[in-house]
Amino acid sequence: MAVTMETLRIVADLRTRLEKMTDAQTLALTRAWVDAYDVIAPEFRTALLELMAAAKDGTVSRATVAKNLRIRDALQTTRDVLDELARSTEVTVSNDIGQAVRDAIDTHAAIINSQLPANATGVSFTRAPADALAAIVERTTAQIHSSALALPADVEKAMKSALIRGIAVGDNPNRTAGRIMDATQQRFNGGLTRALTISRTETLDAHRAATQASEKANKNVLEEWEWHAALNARTCPSCWAKHGTRHPLEEAGPNDHQCGRCTRVTVTKTWEALGFKGIPEPASVTPDARTVFDNLTPDTQRRIMGAQRLDLLQSGKIQWADLSTVRHTDGWRDSHIVTPLKDLL
C-alpha cells in the first residue's frame, strides 16, 4: 500500500494530460464567446447612442430603454447567440468525456502496477464493465446539458438589467454608452466564466468517477484512495490541507472546489495481504504537504494562505485540517473549499 516514485510520475503525467484537455476546452469556448460578443456589441452601442441622442431632459428612463425596438432587436440577437453558445459548450465538453473516461481506466491500471513488486505475478487488472463506463458518460453529458441550459436566460437577464438602468446622459453620450457597454460585457462574460466552470469541473469529475468504477472492479487488490494536490502556489489552502489524506474506496472524490485540479490516487493492499510473503515493502513516498509548505519562502506562503490565515496557522491558533470546509450547494455535489477567514477567527 505504498505510493512509489513511479506512481507519482504517472500522476504527474495524468495531471498534464487533463490540463491540456481542459486548456483546449478553455481556448475553444473563450474564442466562441469573444467572437459572439463582437457580433452583438455594435448593435447595442448603436441603439444606446440613438436613445441618448433623442433624450430631451438629459436622462433616459428605464421604461424607454425597455421599450426601445433597437434594444429589443439586440436582445433577441443576443438570445440566439447565447443559445448557440450553450450548444457549443455542451458539444465541446461532451466530446472529451469519453476520452477522459478511457484515460482514467488506463491510468488506473498503471497506478496499480506501480505499487506492486517488480515482475509481480498473480495480480491481474480487471477493466470496469462497459455499461458502467457508458453510464458515467451518459450521466455527465446530462449534467452538462442541464447546467448549460440555464446559461442563455440567466445571461440575457443580467445584460438586460444592466441596459435598462436609468441613464444620465449629461453632455457626453459616448462616455455614457461606453460605461453601459462595459457593464453589459461584464454580464455577458459571466456566462463564459460559468461555461468554463462547467467544462473543467465535469471533465475532471467524469475522470474521477471512472477511476472509482475501476476501483470497484479491482477491490480485491485495493485498500483505499489518497487525495493528491499539486503542491504549488496555484493550489488553494483547502487542497493543501486535503493532500495525502486517505479515504475509503466507496467515497467519491476528491470533491474539491469547482475547477479543482486534485487527483484520486488508488492505494493497493499491503504486499503481504496480496500474497507476496517475505518481500520488504517500501514506505510511501507521497510528499507531506505541511513539510513542503513549511519549506516554501515566506512570500509564497503568504500568497497561498493570505497574511491573516498564515499568522493563525503559524501561531497554532488553527490546525492544518482547519483550512478545509465542506460546502453544500444545491444542484451540485458537496465540495471542499477554503474555510472562510471569519470562521477561523
Q: What is the DSSP string of 282-308?
A: PPP-PPPHHHHHHTS-HHHHHHHH-HH
> What pLDDT shows up at residue 171?
66
Q: What is the pTM of this model?
A: 0.86
Whether residue 178 contacts residue 41, with contact meaning beta carbons closer than 8 Å, is answered with no
Q: 123-134: buried (b, 16+ CB within 10 Å) or exposed (e) per residue?
A: beeeebeeebbe
**Cα 131 to Cα 11: distance, rounded to the nearest angstrom:** 26
Q: Which residues contact 84 (CB under 8 A, 6 or more apart)?
A: 36
pLDDT value of position 297: 96
Q: 141 is written with which cell numbers?
A: 453529458
Spell out a b/e string for 279-300, using b for 16 or more CB atoms within 10 Å of the CB, else e: eeeeebebeebeeebeeeeeee
Phi, psi torsion values for 315, nearest 5 degrees: -85, -10
Q: Which residues of the chain fall short of a pLDDT of 70?
A: 1, 122, 170-171, 331
**What was the pLDDT predicted at 65?**
82
Q: Single out the residue of 343, 339, 310 nearest to residue 325, CA to CA.
A: 339
Per-residue model confidence (pLDDT) at position 49: 87
What angle in degrees, to the nearest 10, is found between the helix axes of 69-114 and 151-163? Answer: 140
Q: Which three three-digit cell numbers place residue 331?
A: 444542484
| Element containing residue 266 per DSSP (H, E) | strand 263-268
